[in-house]
């Protein structure tokens, strides 16, 4: 792996450049099999490669993608055993010899995209997330559910000094993703956007980014406290899907109510961040003619169904949107740094991760859970 000379140089550079003492072991959550036990235990501190930084992760957001990774319900192989997490915020405590863009002591963020080939057609044009060789934090690379994590220095997010690390953590995936999805929807100020899954981790930030972009926001979600959070995030009209029956009549009534609330024509765009196949297909029915349906949430095995006749005569577009690139990350962080979006978070210890997954599975989470790696 690493030559002993390199390791010596690294140790030397850590000693010379920093007052940080890096332990050999740390606490983290690791699992060996999909759906198997989530062990909160002592694990080795990883050693950064020449192109990587070592981040002392203070806080990490818990994204629904982490739950997919643990369950193994996506057709994309993950590394095992795996330390999940890809919304990590912390301090750079060591760096490899080739790293030019971070100094020891800087604040840095771990994102879903940890690295890509940087030479394929997609990387060349800034679509690094679409790279066939993408390396993913908390999926193909051990992530932020540990006290010390390595991150590719090129892809790691720059976080300004003095930033509240618990607050900024969810921006690193949820914030970047919904900001990019809203750009993908290509809407103008004053138009209506519907956020399906509006009070979850991505949804609660999507509502705020959309408002900051001057859009009118209709949110769809259901359950205790979701309407209240949506309103607190600045949303305009809330539709509680649990108040409608699940049969065809219920669906039609909900679609009709969404249209009535949006000048009778439906929203100009929809950001689908729910983890519900039926909610995704439904959005093709209530979106306005010439509107855009953006797919973000990825329920396992889901198919998006759109009636072809309606699709054609309404001239709809269905677009996928997958996290964001480095520029999207910087821009999404700028909205946060300017105070235009705030993360609705609940902070608990990293050891509580299994309980968070349980609540997430039941759709009971309001906003985002953030884990403190100290306990
Ligand atoms: O780059 C990407 N495309 C990307 C990035 C990050 C996350 C995609 N994701 C995916 C995740 O893997 C997951 O599939 O987005 C989805 C949502 O992630 P999340 O926001 O972290 O999940 P959450 O906090 O559990 O929120 C989901 C919300 O959807 C609501 C729930 O009540 C919850 O508030 N919801 C459900 I489940 N069914 C609904 C329905 N039928 C619904 N809302 C409206 N209608
Ligand atoms: Zn995520
Ligand atoms: Zn590439």
**Cα→Cα distances 227→76, 206, 340, Å:** 34, 15, 20
Least distant ligand from the CA of 219: 1
**Distance (Å, rounded) from C-alpha 196 to C-alpha 67?**
19
Give the list of residues 6+ apart from residue 67 with CB closer than 8 angstroms, or none.
Answer: 357, 360, 361
pLDDT at 144 over 50: yes
| Contact of 171 with 73, CB cutoff 8 Å | no
Q: Pick from 61, 273, 371 the residue to mutate for probing ligand 1's pocket: most ligand atoms within 8 Å of its CB.
A: 273
Is the CB–ligand 1 distance for residue 63 below 6 Å? yes
CA-wise closest residue to 181 among 15, 96, 297: 297
Q: How far, in Å, CA of 296 to CA of 232, rounded?
A: 23
The whole-angstrom distance between residue 278's C-alpha and the CA centroid of its chain comes to 22
pLDDT (0 to 100) of residue 19: 64
Which among 173, 197, 201, 369 is the best mutation to test ligand 1's pocket, defined by most ligand atoms within 8 Å of the CB?
197
Give residue-wise pLDDT tens across range 317-337. 999 999 999 999 999 999 999
CA distance 31 to 79: 10
List 345's β-bridge partners, or say none: 368
Ligand 1 pocket, mutate which of 200, 220, 223 (most atoms under 8 A from CB) = 200
User: 172 alpha carbon to ligand 2 midpoint, in Å?
Assistant: 8
Q: Mind listing the pLDDT tens digit for each residue in 151-194? A: 999 999 999 999 999 999 999 999 999 999 999 999 999 999 99
pLDDT tens for residues 56-99?
999 999 999 999 999 999 999 999 999 999 999 999 999 999 99
Give the residue among 76, 74, 72, 85 at the shortest CA–CA distance from 30. 85
- Residue-by-residue DSSP string for 209-254: HHHHTT-EEEEEE-STTHHHHHHHTT-SEEEEGGGS-SSHHHHHHH
**What angle, rounded to 10 degrees, do the helices at 326-337 and 201-212 form?**
80
Q: Does ligand 1 lie within 6 Å of residue 272's CB atom?
A: no
Q: Is the CB of 147 under 6 A from ligand 1?
A: no
Give the C-alpha separation, 171 to 201, whole Å: 10
64 CA → ligand 2 middle, Å: 6
């Amino acid at each position: 792996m690493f030559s002993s000379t390199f390791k010596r140089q690294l140790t030397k550079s850590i000693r010379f450049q920093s007052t940080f003492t890096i332990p050999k072991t740390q606490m983290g959550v690791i699992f060996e099999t999909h759906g198997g036990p989530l062990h909160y235990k002592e694990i080795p501190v990883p050693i950064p490669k020449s192109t990587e930084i070592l981040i002392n992760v203070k806080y990490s957001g818990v994204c629904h993608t982490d739950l997919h990774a643990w369950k193994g319900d996506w057709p994309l192989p993950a590394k095992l055993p795996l330390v999940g997490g890809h919304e990590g915020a912390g301090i750079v405590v060591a760096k490899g010899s080739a790293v030019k863009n971070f100094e020891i002591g800087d604040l840095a963020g771990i994102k879903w995209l940890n690295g890509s080939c940087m030479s394929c057609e997609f990387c060349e044009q800034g679509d690094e997330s679409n790279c066939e060789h993408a390396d993913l934090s908390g999926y193909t690379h051990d992530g932020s559910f540990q006290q010390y994590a390595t991150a590719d220095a090129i892809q790691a997010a720059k976080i300004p000094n003095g930033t509240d690390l618990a607050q900024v953590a969810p921006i690193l995936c949820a914030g970047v993703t919904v900001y990019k999805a809203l750009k993908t929807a290509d809407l103008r100020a004053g138009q209506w956007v519907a956020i399906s899954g509006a009070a979850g981790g991505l949804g609660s930030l999507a509502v705020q980014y959309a408002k900051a972009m001057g859009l009118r926001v209709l949110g769809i979600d259901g359950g205790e406290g979701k309407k209240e959070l949506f309103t607190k995030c600045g949303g305009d009209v809330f539709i509680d899907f649990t108040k409608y029956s699940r049969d065809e009549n219920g669906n039609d009534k909900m679609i009709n109510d969404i249209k009535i609330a949006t000048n009778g024509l439906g929203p100009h765009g929809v950001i689908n961040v729910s983890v519900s196949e039926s909610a995704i297909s439904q959005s093709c029915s209530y979106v306005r003619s010439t509107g855009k349906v953006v797919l973000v949430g990825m329920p396992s095995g889901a198919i998006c169904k759109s009636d072809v006749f309606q699709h054609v005569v309404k001239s709809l577009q269905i677009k996928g949107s997958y996290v964001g690139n480095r520029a999207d990350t910087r821009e999404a962080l700028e909205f946060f740094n300017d105070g235009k979006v705030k993360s609705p978070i609940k902070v608990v210890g990293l050891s509580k991760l299994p309980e968070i997954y349980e609540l997430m599975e039941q759709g009971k989470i309001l906003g985002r859970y953030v884990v403190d790696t100290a306990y």
